[in-house]
A and B are shown apart, each in its own frame.
Chain A
Amino acid sequence: QKEVEQDPGPLSVPEGAIVSLNCTYSNSAFQYFMWYRQYSRKGPELLMYTYSSGNKEDGRFTAQVDKSSKYISLFIRDSQPSDSATYLCAMSEGAGSYQLTFGKGTKLSVIP
């Protein structure tokens, strides 16, 4: 079992839809949770991060972490064609680790 599982999609939604992206993980030591967005032929860029359990909102984006279920989510409200990209979850143990563990990424297409 991989440490981080993420459905690769592809996921296709109409413009304006609410998008839900998810990752599950097995390492209970993970404390820092991030979402990166990667446009085609570009490097990933940090979109959201959350420490431990809870929610974080930034504009149309909401990140949720449920450590008891080892499950994280990214919600995109009022999705736009410009949101079409691959979304990667990433996690870290924090103190004691220099490494980020990435999910495989979910490819999202928002259709106008």
Chain B
Amino acid sequence: NAGVTQTPKFQVLKTGQSMTLQCAQDMNHEYMSWYRQDPGMGLRLIHYSVGAGITDQGEVPNGYNVSRSTTEDFPLRLLSAAPSQTSVYFCASRSGQGKVTNEKLFFGSGTQLSVL
């Protein structure tokens, strides 16, 4: 049982380049989300999805796009990378479409992104 799988683990981009961070889960979870983790800032929600075809913005959505064509996959796209997007990115999923309660969020192991 792989859980939440993120690729790549590390990536270096130049300013202005685009790329897609991949996230896949094999737990049939309806809810998936992307967070970024920066020193001194904690985890901040970028985008989330409550099911295929349904996405919404979190706290820091600017500069990122998402789509959800299948239950399993939730890619995060950086259209034109900026140094401010240097961060560690985590994908997380949980069961249920309902509003957050005590349901456990399962995190991937993260993608460390550097934008030069």
Contact = CB atoms under 8 A, between A and B. Distances in A.
Interface stretch (A9-17, A64-72, A73-81, A89-97): A89-97
B42 interface: yes
B59 A46 contact: no
A49 B102 contact: yes
B7 to A, nearest CB: 14
Contacts, number: 66
A45 B56 CA distance: 24
B90 interface: yes
Contacts of B43: 44, 88, 90, 102
Q: How large is the interface on B (under 10, 10 to 19, 20 to 34, 35 or more residues)?
A: 20 to 34
Contacts of A6: 42
A46 B105 contact: yes
Contact of B90 (A34, A44, A93, A98): A44
B42 A34 contact: no
A61 interface: no
Contact of B110 (A41, A45, A90, A93): A41
A92 B4 contact: no
B99 A94 contact: yes
A34 B109 CA distance: 20
5 contacts: A43-B109, A45-B107, A90-B43, A96-B99, A103-B42
